[in-house]
Amino acid sequence: MPEPIPRGRPRSEQSRRATLEATRELLHSVGYDRLTIEGIASAAGVSRQTVYRWWRAKSAIVAEAVLDGVIILPGAAAAGGSIAGILNAMGASLGSPENAGLVRALAAAAADDPAASEALYERMTGPTHAALARSIADGVARGALRPDIDPEVAADALIGAVLYRVLTRQDSPPGYGDDLAATVLGATPGTA
């Protein structure tokens, strides 16, 4: 009913998918800075005009690639487990050089496009952030965690620590998630 009857040739879903997948490939291989619309179009077997018809900037393409889940969001899937579990999953996921490079690329994309920024960070870190904050609030309510912990701020700290190490290219050692949980929350892994 607010449905405006579609006229003309319908948009090619195949072109859309090919574009987003090519974007992911190129983000992995050349990074955000050397990512070009020309390159995306040619790698996707799509005309440049078709790319411009649907996206306004390369940051928008990257954002949609993420929003569509074409770029797998590291750690977000594990957002139901325990606190240390989430952190270790994030650490493990970002431990692969490929994914770490992707995260850095997304940070670059977000740096010069506020619109993309929100979309990217909400999708990448938002769910994880929410899951962590919920678990922590739970723990505080149950008395399992210190009462002076602000769940939202704690979630900032936990995610921020991981992100900081990725951006500064410092590998996180295997048990980093446990150490981090213990340090911030004063809790041993299984306890929370």
Partner DNA sequence: TACTAAACGAGACGGTACGTCGGGTCTTTAG
Partner DNA sequence: CTAAAGACCCGACGTACCGTCTCGTTTAGTA
Q: How far apart are CA 172 and CA 88, in angstroms?
A: 10
Report what 111 binds from its own copies, DNA, none; CB cut-off 5-8 Å by kind.
its own copies
C-alpha separations of 172 from 60, 75, 180, 186 in Å: 30, 15, 11, 20
Q: Which of 13, 33, 142, 143 binds its own copies (CB under 8 A)?
A: 33
C-beta of residue 133 within 8 angstroms of C-beta of residue 108: no
**What string marks each residue from 29 to 48 as x (binds DNA by CB under 7 A) or -?**
-------xxxx-----xxxx
Among 72, 141, 144, 153, contact with its own copies (rule: CB under 8 A): 153
Binder among 21, 25, 68, 179 for its own copies (CB under 8 A): 179
Subset of 56-75 contacting DNA (CB under 7 A): 57-58
- Contacts from 182-191 at CB under 8 Å and sequence distance 24+? 184/154, 184/157, 184/158, 185/83, 185/136, 185/139, 185/145, 185/146, 185/149, 185/154, 186/145, 186/146, 187/83, 187/139, 187/144, 187/145, 189/82, 189/84, 190/82, 190/84, 191/144
Which does residue 25 bind out of DNA, its own copies, none, counting CB within 5 to 8 angstroms by kind?
none
Which residue lies nearer to its own copies by CB, 17 or 146?
A: 146
Which residues of the chain form contacts with its own copies (CB under 8 A)? 31-34, 104-105, 107-108, 110-112, 114, 117-118, 121, 125, 146, 148-150, 153-154, 156-165, 167-169, 176, 179-180, 182-184, 186
